[in-house]
C-alpha cells in the first residue's frame, strides 16, 4: 500500500482511538457521578476518573520517547476539560428570589407546618356583589412561581367580587426553600390547610390548577383539611396517587407541542453542568438531593426556555403560532429538583380512592379539549369522588385554560364563578360519571 495512503489511515486510526478514549472517560465520569450521587459538586467523580486516566497515560508512555509520551495525554486532557465543565457552577449557588411585582405585594407568611410562603391578596373590586367566602388559588408546578398570566386571571376574579388569596408553594417563587427531604405531596396538602386556617375567615373556596389540582384533590380526601373547604374547583389535575401514575395514557385533542416556534432565551440545558444534572435527575439516576447541583443553584439556573415544549403542550394546535408569553424572565421560577421529589412521593403513595369516596365537599372538575394531561387521571378523579357535582369540558382551550387568548379568560371565569355561586352551569355537564367509558372511547 502506498505511503501516501498509509499515513492518512494511521492518522485516522489515532484520531478514532483518541475519540474512543475521550468518550470512555466521559462515560466513566458520568457513571462515577451517578455512583457518588454527584458528591462534592462532581469533583469526587472527576478526580477518580482523571486520576485513573492519568495513571493509564503514564503506563502507556513508560517506554516511549518524551514526544511519544505526550500522545496518550491529549485525549485525557480533552476529557478532563469536558468533564470539569460539569463540576463548575455558572449560576449563583445561593438563592436568588424574583424581584417584587409592580402590581401586587408579596407578603411572607409563616405557616404552622414550618413553611414560609409568599402570599398574595387581591381584594374584591368592580361593581359585582361581594362574595362572602374567600377564594384561594393553587397554581401548577408543583414547585413553581405564579406566572404573570395567572396573576392577571386572579385580578379578573377579584373584579367579579371575589376576595382572592394565593401563595407560592414552599420552594417556589418568592417562598422559602425547604430541606429537600421535606418536600412531599403530604406536606403540600398540610400547607394548604395551614394557609386556609391562617386566613381566619372560616371555610374557603379553592381553585386548584394542574399540580395545584392534585394538592386540592388529596386535601378533599383528608377530613380535617376538607372541613376547612367550602367548594373546590379541580382544574386539569395530574396524577393524584401511585396507581394513577401507572394508568394507560390517553390525551385530549392535539396540542401545540412540536408545532409552536421554539421559545427564545437562554437555556440551562445548553450548559453542560445543568444538562447533565437535570438530565440524570429526570432519568432517576441522581436523587433530587444530589451533591452535584444544590437546590438553590438549580432554581437559579432553570429558565423559562427550558420548559418550552411543556408550555407549548398547554395550548391547542390551532394556537401554536400565537402562544402568549406566560411570564417575565424576572418573575419566572421553577425548582426541578423539588418538583421531582414531590412527584416521586405521589408515585409512591397508595390509592387515594378509598378516602376520596368519603369526600363530601362540593366540587367541580374542569377538563380542557386540547389537554396534555392524561384523560384517565381526570376521569379517575371524577369516578372516585362522589361529591363532584358537575364537570365542565372546555372547548377550544388547552391545559392552560385561562391564557389571555380570545375570550378564554372570560369563559373560564364564567364556569368557575357559576359553580362557586351555585348557579346553572354555562356548559353541559360533560362527561358525567356514567359517561366516562363513552368519553374515553370517543377520544375527546
Which pLDDT belongs to residue 18? 58
Strand positions, DSSP E, 149-298 = 164-168, 204-209, 229-235
Measured over the CA atoms of residue 168, residue 169, residue 170 and residue 173, the dihedral's sign is: negative
For residues 376 and 20, what is the distance between their CA atoms, to the nearest angstrom?
Answer: 46
For residues 320 and 323, what is the distance between their CA atoms, to the nearest angstrom?
Answer: 6
- Rounded to the nearest integer, the mean pLDDT of the chain is 92
> Which residues, 6+ apart, have CB-to-CB distance to 132 below 8 Å?
none
Average pLDDT over residues 429-443: 94
Average pLDDT over residues 223-228: 97
Q: Summarize pLDDT for 391-429 with one digit per residue, the tens.
A: 999 999 999 999 999 999 999 999 999 999 999 999 999
Q: Summarize pLDDT for 237-259 with one digit per residue, the tens.
A: 999 999 999 998 898 999 999 89
> Which residues, 6+ apart, have CB-to-CB distance to 70 below 8 Å?
61
For residues 230 and 344, what is the distance between their CA atoms, to the nearest angstrom?
Answer: 30
For residues 398 and 379, what is the distance between their CA atoms, to the nearest angstrom?
Answer: 17
Location of C-alpha cell 362572602: 132
For residues 169 and 409, what is the distance between their CA atoms, to the nearest angstrom?
Answer: 24
Q: Summarize pLDDT for 178-209 with one digit per residue, the tens.
A: 999 999 999 999 999 999 999 999 999 999 99
> Is the backbone peptide bond immediately before 233 cis, with ω within 30 degrees of 0?
no
Q: Summarize pLDDT for 317-326 with one digit per residue, the tens.
A: 999 999 999 9
3-state secondary structure of 90: coil
Confidence of residue 388 (pLDDT cuts 50, 70, 90): very high
Which pLDDT belongs to residue 263? 81
Average pLDDT over residues 140-157: 96
Which pLDDT belongs to residue 444? 84
Average pLDDT over residues 26-40: 94
Average pLDDT over residues 72-94: 89
CA-based nearest residue to 281, from 293, 270, 271: 293
Copy the grid coordinates of residue 81.
Answer: 476539560
Q: Is 101 exposed, middle or buried (0-12, 13-18, 19+ CB in 10 A)?
A: middle
Average pLDDT over residues 255-281: 91
Strand partners, 429: 392
> Which residues, 6+ apart, have CB-to-CB distance to 190 below 8 Å?
113, 225
| Cα-based torsion angle of the residue sequence 73, 74, 80, 81 in order, rounded to the nearest 10 degrees | 150
Angle between helices 211-220 and 336-347 (to 10 degrees): 40
110 φ, ψ (degrees, to nearest 5): -90, 120
Which pLDDT belongs to residue 136? 98
Does residue 3 register a pLDDT over 80? no
Amino acid at each position: 500500500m502506498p505511503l501516501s495512503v498509509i499515513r492518512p489511515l494511521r492518522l485516522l486510526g489515532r484520531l478514532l482511538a483518541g475519540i474512543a478514549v475521550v468518550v470512555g472517560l466521559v462515560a466513566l465520569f458520568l457513571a462515577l457521578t451517578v455512583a457518588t450521587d454527584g458528591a462534592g459538586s462532581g469533583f469526587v467523580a472527576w478526580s477518580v476518573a482523571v486520576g485513573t486516566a492519568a495513571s493509564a497515560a503514564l503506563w502507556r508512555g513508560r517506554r516511549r520517547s518524551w514526544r511519544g509520551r505526550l500522545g496518550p495525554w491529549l485525549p485525557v486532557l480533552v476529557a478532563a476539560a469536558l468533564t470539569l465543565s460539569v463540576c463548575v457552577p455558572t449560576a449563583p449557588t445561593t438563592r436568588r428570589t424574583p424581584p417584587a411585582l409592580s402590581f401586587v405585594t408579596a407578603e411572607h407568611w409563616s405557616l404552622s407546618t414550618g413553611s414560609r410562603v409568599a402570599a398574595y391578596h387581591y381584594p374584591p373590586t368592580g361593581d359585582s356583589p361581594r362574595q362572602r367566602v374567600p377564594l384561594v388559588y393553587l397554581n401548577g408546578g408543583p414547585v413553581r412561581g405564579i406566572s404573570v398570566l395567572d396573576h392577571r386571571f386572579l385580578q379578573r376574579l377579584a373584579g367579579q367580587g371575589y376576595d382572592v388569596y394565593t401563595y407560592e408553594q414552599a420552594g417556589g417563587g418568592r417562598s422559602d426553600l425547604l430541606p429537600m427531604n421535606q418536600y412531599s405531596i403530604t406536606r403540600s396538602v398540610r400547607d394548604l390547610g395551614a394557609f386556609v386556617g391562617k386566613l381566619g375567615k372560616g371555610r374557603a373556596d379553592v381553585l386548584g390548577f394542574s399540580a395545584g389540582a392534585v394538592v386540592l384533590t388529596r386535601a378533599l380526601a383528608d377530613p380535617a383539611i376538607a372541613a376547612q373547604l367550602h367548594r373546590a374547583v379541580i382544574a386539569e389535575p395530574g396524577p393524584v396517587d401511585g396507581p394513577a401514575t401507572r394508568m394507560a395514557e390517553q390525551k385530549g385533542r392535539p396540542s401545540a407541542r412540536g408545532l409552536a416556534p421554539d421559545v427564545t432565551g437562554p437555556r440551562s440545558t445548553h450548559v453542560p453542568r445543568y444538562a447533565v444534572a437535570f438530565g440524570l435527575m429526570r432519568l432517576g439516576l441522581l436523587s433530587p438531593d444530589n451533591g452535584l447541583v444544590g437546590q438553590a443553584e438549580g432554581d437559579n439556573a432553570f429558565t423559562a426556555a427550558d420548559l418550552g415544549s411543556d408550555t407549548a403542550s398547554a395550548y391547542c394546535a390551532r394556537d401554536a403560532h400565537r402562544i402568549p408569553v406566560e411570564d417575565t424572565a424576572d418573575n419566572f421560577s421553577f425548582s426541578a429538583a423539588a418538583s421531582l421529589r414531590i412527584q416521586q412521593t405521589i408515585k409512591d403513595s397508595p390509592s387515594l380512592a378509598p378516602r376520596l369516596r368519603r369526600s363530601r365537599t362540593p366540587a367541580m372538575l374542569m377538563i380542557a379539549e386540547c389537554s396534555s394531561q392524561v384523560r384517565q387521571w381526570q376521569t379517575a378523579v371524577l369516578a372516585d369522588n362522589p361529591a363532584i357535582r358537575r364537570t365542565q369540558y372546555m372547548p377550544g382551550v388547552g391545559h392552560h385554560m385561562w391564557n389571555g387568548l380570545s375570550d378564554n379568560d372570560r369563559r373560564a371565569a364564567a364556569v368557575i364563578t357559576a359553580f362557586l355561586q351555585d348557579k346553572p352551569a354555562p356548559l353541559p355537564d360533560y362527561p358525567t360519571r356514567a359517561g366516562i367509558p363513552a368519553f374515553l372511547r370517543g377520544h375527546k
